[in-house]
Structure 1
Amino acid sequence: MSDNAARPEVAAVVVAAGKGLRVGGDLPKQYRRVGGRAVLTRTLAALAASPRIARIQPVIAPDAAAFFRDCVAELEPALRQKLAEPVPGGATRQQSVAAGLEGLARSGAPDLVLVHDAARPFVDEGLIGRAVAAGAEHGAAVPGTPVTDTIKRVEAIAPGIGRVRETPDRENLRAVQTPQSFRFGPLLAAHRRAAAEGRDGFTDDGALAEWAGLAVVVFEGDLRNRKITQASDLMEADRAFSGEAVAVSDAPMTTYVTRLGTGFDVHAFTEGDHVWLGGVKIPADRGVLAHSDGDVALHALTDALLGAIADGDIGTHFPPSDERWRGAASDQFLAHACALVRARGGRIDHLDITVLAEAPRIGAHREAIRARIAEITGVPLSAVSIKATTTEKLGFVGRAEGLAAQAAATVRLPEVEVDTGSETAERRS
């Protein structure tokens, strides 16, 4: 405990590494938007705004860095200062919490740690205060709310059928929430012991603490502190936060439209010993004739993004008549297009490229190309696809006179929904 026992240093671990796809779509629920802001942004904002919490350790999926950066960009600068660099999570929630605890340990162990689910954006200062007080007094404490439904303990006897074995007294039952509060050292030790013994089935830290022999208390939770799990939860949260936004600022609710842009590029072969594809230098028996580095994949992808926002093409922004771009690396063209998308409040969801060439073969370079494009664009690796094909000896590609690429980019752009009273709400980009 810190010198001032009445005010222990408190850190929070925010678990945001899950896939969370039960809400529908292919975007994890913590990155879905409710009331115009990402769920994770709202959760981080609520925790960072608490004067009781000194720092926050986010835990995210290894391929979600771009999504996380977008969430953090929506926070006020003062709140961002409490955020540590995110650490990658594991295959289970337990592994992700352990990664967050180890991240805190490396930067200086706090007295208390609050472990909170990213998908609980309704956490408020009252609940945070009760968590800190209970954790400081008891060492291990979890918030709980009364169970209103009758609970049956059953034994499965057939698919979808269970025989009732017990009806617990619901007066003694609590539905457990987060943030859960612990003295940091004992919880870290419990996680390390569980990992060493191969115990990886705990779905919350209260259960793990019980297994480790810690006495866990339940303090008063908050029925409003619900977790977003299903599509209906997401819709209810969107309505709740949208209503809050209108009540506070009368600002219109932000919605999004999905747009698809396409691009195509071709370059003829010339003398040389390499070609650039997808930002990767690939050895070849010829080079390409181009004003820049001739990266057909990045050129096509740049045009696809510009097409999605209806902002001209690569020649509009980087004319070949401008000597500044002679021999230029094409990654800056793609980065510029991405910046234009984000400047409009847009989000890049997926990038898909097909290279048409008899040679060089890109199979051995596929993953390097995907990684480089993900790095340039700031999207998860899982959102980048690269394919290659030949033209069965037909055309200029089939005659090995050059190579080409076509690309598609899916982005979401904000619209503003305006309340027009009795009329149908209008939307404008």
Structure 2
Amino acid sequence: MAFPAQIRIPATYMRGGTSKGVFFRLEDLPPACQVPGAARDALFMRVIGSPDPYAAHIDGMGGATSSTSKCVILSKSRRDGHDVDYLYGQVSIDKAFVDWSGNCGNLSTAAGAFAIHAGLVDPTRIPDNGVCVVRIWQANIGKTIIAHVPVTDGQVQETGDFELDGVTFPAAEIVLEFVDPSDDDGEGASMFPTGNLLDQLEVPGIGRLSATMISAGIPTVFVNAADIGYSGTELREDINNDPDALARLEAIRVAGALRMGLISDPAEALTRQHTPKIAFVAPPQGYQASSGRQIQAADTDLLVRALSMGKLHHAMMGTCAVAIGTAAAIPGTLVNLAAGGGERSSVVFGHPSGTLRVGAEARQQDGQWQVTRAIMSRSARILMEGWVRVPPSE
């Protein structure tokens, strides 16, 4: 019996921040995959190697973690004032679906660099030497991201001395601005979907928990580490090797998703694993990061641990960092209180791999909180480029 040959599609494998993903230009995808739908989802699952009951992604480009099961599509923007449209798909590891409900802040860094690499930015806007300002339309959530990408001799500069905890080697620094990152409607109401900075969340099997639920960067449910039996110094293995802990944290996430109006039934959470995120916060204290480096209490303003796709993240998702910075800037949230309270324009938080600084500009207008932008530094580089090969769809 004869079997058809694999098809090959131009693709670039990139690291952005503490994530990796397969990047495509929209025009390079097969025609059926250039529009949303089953064909596109099937292609991306096959590229990554999902669904994989072995949770290893041996037969695909994924790395069997939430940080490495990602695909990105970029195209020249059709929106005024933007260079590129950026669409992000989080591919489930063990289930047959792609979650399009949110953004990846880490890969937003790589999106800016890839836009230049792929010829999607007007050459007249790219300096010979300096910084190219890439204006990105994040199509999943309908927001603007501005990437300040260093350029040398007209090409993206990828090497440098900027160090990012959670990434092994230094690289060139890319500054990201998340413009108007909240989901508000212009009146600030829906940045806090319940209308409150602090809520009491009833969680089946756990009871009542204090929670801050915010939609900035990405919808996130924050709870106090101490309220769920943690210190905030936990590393990935402490949580991910404990099925009961993962189940409890998922129950909190589902309860938060219901209160935030993101789902109407708990069963829907199975097909919305990417959002909302669940994170727990604690005041500063010393701990040993996963790299072995000792983090002192004085090195941070607070500690945060966050889960992505059902597992504790090895560092911090970029979009969740936006939520952390935004919530920290607003007095009265659990994040702000863990950082000591008061008004602040930036925080340094401790995560399993080390520390990260994020800034946010928040203000109160007509009794409602608004955030105008959040800023952080990341890095990105191409790991491999050429073609990805997949068997033709049946």
**TM-score band w.r.t. shorter chain:** under 0.3
What's the TM-score, normalizing by structure 1? 0.22
Which protein is richer in strand relative to its size? 2
RCO (CA 8 Å, sep 6+): is it higher in 1 or 2? 2
Which protein is richer in helix relative to its size? 1
What's the TM-score, normalizing by structure 2? 0.24
